[in-house]
């Protein structure tokens, strides 16, 4: 009889060890997952600025940079109205059809902050993008499309 009493006491150890092992595995997986998420956070943060721009098109006028392609053109003024301040050397205006103008052609230097503006000559039917480029990647900050203006 003493054997059966000892045996039933041994049965209780196995479920307890199983629960402890499952708990340890769960804690380890949670720690590894947290490490991966925190370590990958740098790649998830966007370095692209967030800014608001307004566009004003004046048919027949000209701007500081000529991105005109067809001759049927006008002046497009891009005005920074709010948001992040950006380094002018990282910005360029791209017109399709047309061309691209960077910092020196635009007349921007240093930082582009709220209140800054530039005027470029573009085709009447162009699509114009203000592009921010840094570290080998580029992001469109603002877009003006003549067809939807």
> Per residue in 126-139, pLDDT tens?
899 999 988 888 88
Mean pLDDT of the chain: 83
Backbone angles phi, psi at 108, to 5 degrees: -85, 140
Copy the structure tokens of residue 16: 């307890």
In this prediction, residues 50-60 reach a mean pLDDT of: 90
Backbone angles phi, psi at 27, to 5 degrees: -65, -40
Quote the pLDDT of residue 10. 55
CA angle 97, 100, 104 (to 5 degrees): 150
Considering the entire predicted model, what is its pTM?
0.66
Q: Please, are residues 32 and 25 in contact by the beta-carbon 8 Å criterion? A: no
Peptide bond into 97 cis (omega under 30): yes
3-class SS string, the chain: CHHHHHHHHHHCHHHHHHHHHHHHHHHHHHHHHHHHHHHHHHHHCCCCCCEEEEEEEEECCCCCEECCCCCCEEEEEEEEEEECCEEHHHEEEEEECCCEECHHHHCCCCEECCCCEEEEEEECCCEEEEEEEECCEEEEEEEEECCCC
Q: What is the pLDDT of residues 68-115, one digit of tens each?
A: 877 788 899 999 999 989 998 899 999 988 888 888 888 888 889 899
């Amino acid at each position: 009889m003493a054997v059966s009493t000892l045996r039933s006491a041994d049965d209780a150890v196995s479920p307890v060890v199983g629960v402890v092992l499952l708990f340890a595995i769960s804690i380890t997986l949670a720690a590894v997952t947290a490490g991966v998420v925190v370590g990958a956070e740098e790649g998830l943060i966007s370095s692209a600025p967030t800014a608001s721009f307004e566009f004003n098109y004046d048919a027949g006028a000209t701007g500081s940079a000529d991105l005109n392609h067809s001759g049927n053109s006008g002046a497009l003024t891009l005005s920074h109205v709010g948001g992040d301040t950006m380094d002018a050397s990282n910005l360029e205006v791209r017109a399709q059809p047309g061309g691209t103008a960077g910092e020196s052609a635009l007349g921007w230097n240093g930082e582009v902050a709220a209140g800054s503006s530039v005027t470029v000559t573009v085709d009447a039917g162009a699509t114009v993008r203000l592009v921010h480029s840094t570290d080998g990647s580029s992001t469109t900050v603002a877009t003006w499309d003549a067809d939807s203006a």
